Copies of this chain bind each other. A is one copy, B any other.
């Protein structure tokens, strides 16, 4: 890190800062400018912390130099991570589409959704058994019964299952039924839950928090990785801004940024980001063009009757069309679906 001293800092103050840095294990590099003295502190900031330097007399500001994540960074691992579940690859040259209803509602609904998304070419079925809802009066999910229906559907249609875990106590159950365990937006910084999915043996889909910076998101991945689970899939799903026509603002530039900073695969969820089904097709295609490794799309056999987020769900027919376009754009940039 770099310590910028105040323009009025005395020699004693500069000495005191250097002394403290040395005590904490940093090497020192002193640079006296015309206006300011700047002290470079060389060492592992991640482990040494900031040593309370900011509060020492005469210090103007402390600027970190290194990025605070290690395991998630491309410096640690240069080639991109490819996650393999059976014959399905996430992070290679294929665009993987995860599709299905927001919430599991019934066997009929789930079977129909599964059949249709499979026909359209998706390999992974999404569906929530535990639903985080803003209102206590809204449908909260079918819980274990929903997980069982997901497992049954997998059996019947040969699709992989991705589903959300909200509470550490239901993690063993979710891990038992799911192929990919999803950490939702609201739990991106539920650190205990992150640690525990870091200890499970299933890939984790980690959604970006509603107002998380890319660095914080990678730090959340670092929690999982540091517990020994290397299979983290990042999922961009929109961030909160002042724009209110869309539910959130899909930050597609997160795709090339993550590709630059990290080796982890990244997929995009346009359904939750936009909140309006009619905007989903354009942004699904744009996400693929931006380099996303996959998509997470809500599909419901009958969106008007959906118990959750119907407004952003595609009908199976519309989803089929999106898959065609996605395929064309994927091929145009040298990928396949």
Residues of B within 8 A of A333 (CB): 285, 325, 328-329
Known contacts A55-B304, A136-B222; A255 and B282 CB within 8 A of each other: yes
Residue A289 at the chain B interface, CB threshold 8 Å:
yes
A331 to B283, CA, bound (A): 17
A311 at interface by CB-CB < 8 Å: yes
Q: How far is the CA of A46 from the CA of B286 in the complex (A)?
A: 35
- Asked if residues B245 and A214 are in contact (CB atoms below 8 Å), the reply is yes
Binds B, one of A83-91, A103-111, A146-154, A234-242: A234-242
Please indicate the chain B residues that have their CB under 8 angstroms from the CB of A50 in the complex.
311
Residues in B whose Cβ lies below 8 Å from that of A303: 52, 55
Assess the B256–A249 pair: CB atoms within 8 A.
no
- A193: nearest residue on chain B (CB-CB)? B167
Whether A191 contacts B132 by the Cβ 8 Å rule is: yes
Which A residues are within 8 Å of any B CB, using their own CB? 2, 4, 7, 27, 29, 31, 33-36, 38, 40, 42-44, 46-47, 49-50, 52, 54-56, 63, 65-66, 68, 75, 132-138, 140, 166-169, 186-187, 189-192, 195, 210-211, 213-216, 219, 222-223, 226, 239-246, 249-253, 255-257, 259-261, 273-274, 277-279, 282-283, 285-291, 303-306, 310-311, 325, 328-329, 331-333
Complex Cα spacing A214 to B191, Å:
25
Assembly of this chain: how many copies? 4
CA distance in complex: A283, B292 (Å):
11
Chain B residues whose C-beta falls within 8 Å of the C-beta of A305 in the assembled complex: 52
Residue of B nearest to A130 (CB): B192
Q: Decide yes or no: A282 and B278 within 8 Å by CB, A219-B134, A242-B242 being known contacts.
A: no
How far apart are A263's CB and chain B's nearest CB, in angstroms?
14
Whether the pair A246, B242 counts as a contact (CB closer than 8 A) is no
Bound Cα distance A43, B38 (Å) = 12
Task: Evaluate contact between A279 and B304: CB separation under 8 angstroms.
Answer: no
Which of B2, B243, B252, B287 touches A63 (beta carbons < 8 Å)? Answer: B2
